[in-house]
């Protein structure tokens, strides 16, 4: 076995060049150079570790894991290989071995802050949040000057819904590195979560000065200054649903008694009993509308901003294809008279303003086609569109009905639902709107 060495010998230089090729995506020449390095130094653990990077870059997780294991076999106890293998195993749900490796790496290299960051990441990716926080807290004590560890801890604490604790760490980083974007975003998010609007407005001001054209910052700036943005930026949607995707069905349908996709599927089948129709499912999420519909004699096209939600929907094999785009863009980019039906279950609560939605839905539908969607209810004594503290929009039913009528829909039915699903142990009221495009213009 030969251990890694810091002197820039020819092999080190060659490996550096190979890394450069991998980073530049030049995988073929990288593989050739790596073969040559392997022949030159078959027992040097650094060679398979670079091989691991190459396999990773090529999307070959199994090959990367094998290469990391080989590196560790050649250099047992090498903390770099322990962390790299740990990270790979954590991604493959082999958390126990991953965390063991991270522990060994920490014990072997207690003064290396990079190993500390790697170990925290291993625990985090393994889903062992308590271990990740414990290591991050230890890291903050041992490496108080390393902002990266403190920021990692703050991020973990936010994810664990401990915004006050997270805020304290963000404040330390802010006092040392003012104007750091991630820190300011963290401080804003903590202030929002703790309901401290003055602080939130202050951090939003600082962020807007730093990132004046950022749609997300503009959204939070408007909100914290008492204005109501008329839609949610795509970044807000994807950040919620990419994280939520794997638990969505279980949590919402079983836990919160979410029925809307079934109601929409029933409403569709009542209008198309022969199952002959093409459906555009806007904000398809994990594909529950398709699941409740089952096979139809036509295509179901799913549109969603969240890649992770689409991945879940694709597993059912019911949708013909997916588009990862904004609902509004999907509608604008679809030719006229294209679908017999459009569904939109629990999505307009994120889209907000229906003015750009309704006329385009009418245009995209074939004559006689149906647009079926759900909304959360805003009271008739409230504004037409209300942004709730939940960060979702509620719509006034009479205003939705008017917008549908004015756009040219007929046969409009608004069905009031005392419970769309549960929220905070209370039924969340809403309504289902069904509207038909007239048969003749
Ligand atoms: C609460 S889920 C509902 C999913 C599915 N319709 C159902 O009922 O199970 C909301 C979905 O709408 C998507 N979404 C929200 N706003 C969107 C937008 N502007 N464009 C595309 N998708 C959006 C989210 O990513 C998420 O998958």
Which pLDDT value is given to residue 5? 54
Q: Please tell me the predicted confidence (pLDDT) of residue 423.
A: 86
pLDDT, tens digit (0-9, with 9 covering 90-100), for 360-380:
999 999 999 999 999 999 999
Angle at 362 between CA 215 and CA 413, to 5 degrees: 105
CA of 336 to the centre of ligand 1 (A): 23
pLDDT of the residue at 40: 93
**318: phi > 0 → left, psi -120 to 50 → alpha, else beta; which?**
alpha
User: Ligand 1 centroid to 369 CA: how many Å?
Assistant: 22
pLDDT of residue 243: 80
Distance CA(98)–CA(89), nearest Å, equals 5
Q: In the chain, where does the domain assigned CATH 3.40.50.150 lie?
A: 239-436
Report the alpha-carbon distance of residue 271 to residue 65 in Å, rounded.
53
Mean pLDDT of the residues in the chain: 94
- Pocket of ligand 1 contains residue 306 by CB under 6 Å: yes
Q: Is the CB of 393 under 6 A from ligand 1?
A: no
The CB of 346 under 6 Å from ligand 1? The reply is yes
Fill in the DSSP letter of residue 335: P
Which residues does 218 contact at the CB level (< 8 Å), separation at least 6?
208, 229, 233
Using one digit for the tens of pLDDT, what is the confidence trace for 115-164? 999 999 999 999 999 999 999 999 999 999 999 999 999 999 998 989 99
| Closest residue by Cα to residue 429 from 441, 440, 439, 414 | 414
User: What fold characterizes domain 10-224?
Assistant: 1.25.40
Q: Which atom of ligand 1 is nearest to the CA of 281?
A: 6
Instruction: Show the low-confidence residues of the chain (pLDDT under 70).
Output: 1-7, 441
In the chain, which residues fall in CATH 1.25.40.10?
A: 10-224
Closest CA to 221 of 239, 198, 205: 205
- Whose Cα sits closest to atom 26 in ligand 1? 285
- Rounded CA gap, 87 and 144, in Å? 24
Going by C-beta distance under 8 Å and a sequence separation of 6 or more, which residues neighbour residue 177? 147, 183
Look at domain 239-436 and name its CATH class. alpha beta
Looking at ligand 1, which residue's alpha carbon is closest to its atom 12?
Answer: 283
CA of 124 to the centre of ligand 1 (A): 27
Q: Is the CB of 206 under 6 A from ligand 1?
A: no
Kindly state if the Cβ of 288 falls inside 6 Å of ligand 1.
Answer: yes
CB-based contact 187:167 (threshold 8 Å): yes
């Amino acid at each position: 076995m030969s251990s890694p060495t810091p002197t820039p010998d020819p092999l080190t230089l060659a490996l550096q060049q190979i890394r450069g090729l991998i980073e530049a995506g030049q995988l073929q020449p990288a593989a050739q150079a790596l073969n040559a390095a392997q022949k030159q130094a078959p027992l040097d653990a650094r060679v398979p570790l670079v091989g691991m990077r190459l396999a990773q870059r090529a999307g070959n997780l199994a090959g990367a894991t094998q290469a990391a294991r080989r590196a560790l076999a050649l250099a047992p106890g090498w903390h770099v290989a322990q962390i790299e293998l740990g990270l790979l195993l954590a991604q493959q749900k082999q958390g126990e071995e991953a965390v063991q490796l991270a522990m060994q790496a920490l014990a072997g290299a207690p003064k290396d802050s990079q190993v500390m960051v790697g170990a925290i990441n291993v625990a985090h990716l393994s889903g062992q949040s308590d271990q990740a926080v414990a290591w991050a807290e230890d890291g903050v004590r041992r490496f108080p000057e390393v902002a990266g560890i403190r920021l990692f801890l703050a991020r973990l604490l936010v994810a664990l819904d401990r915004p006050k604790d997270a805020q304290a760490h963000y404040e330390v980083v802010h006092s040392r590195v003012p104007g750091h974007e991630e820190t300011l975003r963290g401080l804003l998010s903590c202030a929002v979560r703790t309901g401290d609007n003055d602080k939130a407005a202050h951090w939003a001001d600082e962020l807007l000065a730093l990132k004046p054209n950022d749609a997300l910052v503009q959204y939070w700036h408007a909100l914290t200054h008492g204005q109501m943005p008329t839609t949610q930026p795509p970044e807000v949607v994807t950040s919620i649903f990419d994280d939520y995707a794997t638990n969505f069905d279980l949590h919402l349908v079983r836990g919160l008694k979410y029925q809307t996709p079934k109601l929409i599927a029933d409403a569709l089948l009542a209008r198309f009993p022969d199952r002959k129709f093409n459906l555009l499912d806007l904000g398809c999420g994990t594909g529950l509308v398709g699941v409740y519909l089952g096979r139809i004699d036509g295509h179901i096209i799913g549109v969603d901003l969240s890649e992770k939600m689409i991945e879940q929907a694709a597993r059912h094999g019911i949708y013909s294809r997916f588009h990862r785009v904004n609902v509004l863009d999907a509608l604008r980019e679809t030719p006229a008279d294209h679908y017999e039906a459009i569904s939109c279950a629990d999505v307009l609560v994120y889209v907000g303003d229906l003015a750009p939605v309704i006329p385009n839905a009418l245009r995209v539908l074939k004559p006689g086609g149906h647009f079926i969607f759900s909304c959360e209810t805003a009271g008739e004594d409230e504004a037409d569109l209300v942004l709730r503290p939940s960060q979702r929009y509620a719509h006034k039913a009479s205003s939705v009905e008017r917008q549908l009528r004015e756009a040219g829909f007929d046969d409009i039915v608004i069905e009031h639902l005392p419970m769309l699903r549960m929220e905070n142990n209370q039924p969340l009221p809403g309504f289902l709107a069904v509207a038909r495009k007239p048969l003749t213009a």
